[in-house]
Structure 1
Amino acid sequence: MKELIGMGVNIRAKNNAGRLALHWASGAGHEQAVRLLLEYEVSVDDKDMFGMNALLLSAWFGHLRILQLLVNSGAKINCEDKNGLNILHCAAQRGHVHVLEFIMEDLEDVPLDRIDKLDRTAFHLAAENGQLDALDFLIGSGCNHSIKDKEGNTALHLAAKNGHSSVLQRIVEIGLDLEEKNAEGLTALHVATEEGHLDCVQLLIQAGSKVNAQTQKQMNCLHYAALHGFDDIAHALIDAGISKDAANQQNASPIHIAVLHNFPSIVRLLIEAEINLDVTDNRQQTPLHIAAENSRQDIAEMILLEGVNLNLTDKQGKTSLDVAARGNHICLVDMIIKADRFYKWEQDNLRTGSDSWAVKPLTFKQDHGVETQHIRSVLWHLATKYLKHNDWKKLAHHWKFTDAHIRAIEQQWAGTKSYREHGHRMLLIWLHGVIMAAENPNKGLYEGLVGIGRRDLAGKIRPQHIQLSRAVVSLGEADHSIVFLHSSMGSMVLARATFIWNTTFGAFTKGV
């Protein structure tokens, strides 16, 4: 530096950020370089493009000796950057306690509670940046704890928002109001929940924060947990007794929000907490409506398995089935129809609970099981090769499908041959109900075909095969023998699926 100065360099030259050599030396903590520049009487108060001068940089980076040199050289101690940060703000948010001590003990006219352009004090900034030691120093110096910034946040809000649990604990200990709300009506618990800070949420709950407090949008903390998919926080809130059905301004409960944003874990948690699954939002849509509208199959399955009112309509008079059909969400349409038929069967048989189905665990999703592969293949051949245009509708009416069910299936349109796909879907929905009820699919298919006047197809099923299948069902065999129709060389032939029945008395095996 001395050599360059001797060569006549301009020691007051600035770079494209408006910084002098003094800025660099002060920020980097090079005491000898600062002393040399001060000997040549460089301006100590010049600011860069961000409004930072050498004094502010020394405070920001915690270089106490540099700061003292600059003060002794006449630097203005009440300088501020473009954001209104003074040396106290800079030192506090960076946690430089030794600099804070010098400022408060040796300098005059540096207000402890001076605010920046966001109306934040050094106390706010220490809390926001998790600087516990700086926070303790400011508390000990008698700072005002309850000042709010321009967004209405206290230091408690800022610590919670940024997940600084140790700082949050200290602020709680000094008695700051836990229910103080910011400009949006959020408490510190709302903020911690929205940002996903579980440790802060638990701390605030233990300190006595009201879990059911609502914001200006009438959202409680569970709404935010559902919105962002924070299932661990949702657990904590439910354990603390939060209202699970509370609605916001859109009248959306937490489960509406979780379904909309596709967070199955939150939905499962709320279901386990016995939330009302028929609650409606401002569009009078239930959670199932939203799942149907947005094709949330896994979530729809959870809801349907719990048993819901499928007759509820939204403001447009649409059921969840109508909404799924309108969106061409075929799998969801079929799931809802399966559920509707199962609910009716369950009601007719006065059976409820986990023992309501006799053969398989209940599901409404598409069947890909090996044990039904043969009969599903038969139904596909039947629908695509042998049933006439309106036969599937006749069968549907025979098997007590409703007009709404048929309309929903027909919503899918793929041309003049769409009836084949419609028939196939209807047959698979019917098969689901038969299996759930542990009934004989062959007998039901035979009687259905006879019932719609298709004896030509029904006659292909031999009575002895029906009797054999009935016998196996009566013995309690889950994978009972399925007598099924198959297409071969353009004609209908009869085949049997292999089945094995094991009992304590022996084994009986029948081949194809």
Structure 2
Amino acid sequence: MDSPRDRDIKSLMIAVIAGDIGTVRAMLESGAGGDARARIGWAALTYAATFATWKGHTDIVKLLMESGAGNVAPFLPLGEADEGAVSNYERTALMFAAWSGDTDTVTELVDDGIDVNSKVPGGITALMFAAWSGRLATVQALLVRGADINAQTVAGSTPLMCAAAGGHTTVVQTLLEAGAGVDAETRNGSTAMTDATREGYTDIVQLLVLAGGRQ
């Protein structure tokens, strides 16, 4: 089941792609203090702005940028960017497809030559996005195609941590069975175990313990 935050992100993406600026504005302004960046997240805002750019919704791009989205210039569509931006465009498409569980698009992009282990700012990979959003089929497709199961972000997060923090038990189990390092740590000392324990995901904690994770 999607979390309220996941539902907000999906609704925002739908409104952005449809060019519905009224709904986009209402969503960005809702919540405590209207702090969209804290509530929805930098990555989701940036991807929304990227898709708005591809669709030509410049008013929505401006609105999203004002709400905390990152720079979308490197992710302009073909024909509007230099050769170096093409890889960024494709890489961003891979990340969004992984996050949204569009396994067909993920496999098509990777099979066509996009690096399955490419990263966006912060060191996030497609496998991390798929794990974070609980997309089991996409996770499996990425693993089959050589995704680095123990890749780490700049902060040290791994795909297993993403799945554990998101409460996605079957994804956690799949990653463990595929050889994910159970005790990898972030820069601040967090592990998949501490994330799952903090969020109260007892089934995941049990899986991690059985895999040899430190409590």
Residue 147 (structure 1) aligned to one of 69, 81, 87: 87
Give the structure with the larger helix fraction: 2
Letter in 2 for 1:271: V
Partner of 2:76 in structure 1?
120
Residue 182 (structure 1) aligned to one of 108, 120, 137: 120
Instruction: Provide Cα deviations, 1:110-168, integer angstroms capped at 9, x if missing partner.
Output: xxxxxx76733269xxxxxxxxxxxxxxxxxxx9995215xx95321121011101111
Instruction: Provide Cα deviations, 1:388-427, integer angstroms capped at 9, x if missing partner.
Output: xxxxxxxxxxxxxxxxxxxxxxxxxxxxxxxxxxxxxxxx
Structure 1 pair 81/229, CA: closer, same or farther in 2 (3 Å)? closer
Partner of 1:297 in structure 2?
none
TM-score of the two chains, using structure 2 as the length reference? 0.62
Letter in 2 for 1:268: Q
Residue 138 (structure 2) aligned to one of 191, 200, 209: 200
Instruction: Provide Cα deviations, 1:315-359, integer angstroms capped at 9, x if missing partner.
Output: xxxxxxxxxxxxxxxxxxxxxxxxxxxxxxxxxxxxxxxxxxxxx
Secondary structure at the residue paired with 1:208? Answer: coil
Task: Give the Cα separation in 2 of the matches to 1:210 and 1:168.
Answer: 15
Please say if 1:251 is aligned against 2:189: yes
Partner of 2:58 in structure 1?
82
List runs of 5+ in structure 1 lacking aligned partners: 1-48, 51-79, 86-115, 124-142, 278-512
Task: Give the Cα separation in 2 of the matches to 1:208 and 1:247.
Answer: 22
Please say if 1:163 is aligned against 2:104: no
Q: CA deviation at 1:211?
A: 0.2
Task: Give the Cα separation in 2 of the matches to 1:145 and 1:82.
Answer: 19
Q: CA deviation at 1:194?
A: 1.0
Secondary structure at the residue paired with 2:58? Answer: coil
Secondary structure at the residue paired with 1:193? Answer: helix
| Aligned 8 A contact 2:77 2:86 in 1 | no
Secondary structure at the residue paired with 1:121? Answer: coil
Identity %: 27
| Aligned 8 A contact 1:189 1:211 in 2 | yes
List runs of 5+ in structure 2 lacking aligned partners: 1-20, 23-55, 62-71
Q: Using CA pairs below 8 Å that are at least 6 residues apart, which structure has the higher relative contact order? A: 2
Residue 179 (structure 2) aligned to one of 241, 247, 251: 241
Secondary structure at the residue paired with 1:275? Answer: coil
Number of equivalenced pairs: 150
Q: CA deviation at 1:228?
A: 1.1
| Aligned 8 A contact 1:146 1:155 in 2 | no
Select the structure of larger CA radius of gyration: 1
TM-score of the two chains, using structure 1 as the length reference? 0.27
Task: Give the Cα separation in 2 of the matches to 1:173 and 1:153.
Answer: 13
Task: Give the Cα separation in 2 of the matches to 1:167 and 1:178.
Answer: 12
Task: Give the Cα separation in 1 of the matches to 2:204 and 2:133.
Answer: 16
| Aligned 8 A contact 1:84 1:117 in 2 | no
Give RMSD over aligned pairs: 3.0
| Aligned 8 A contact 1:146 1:176 in 2 | no
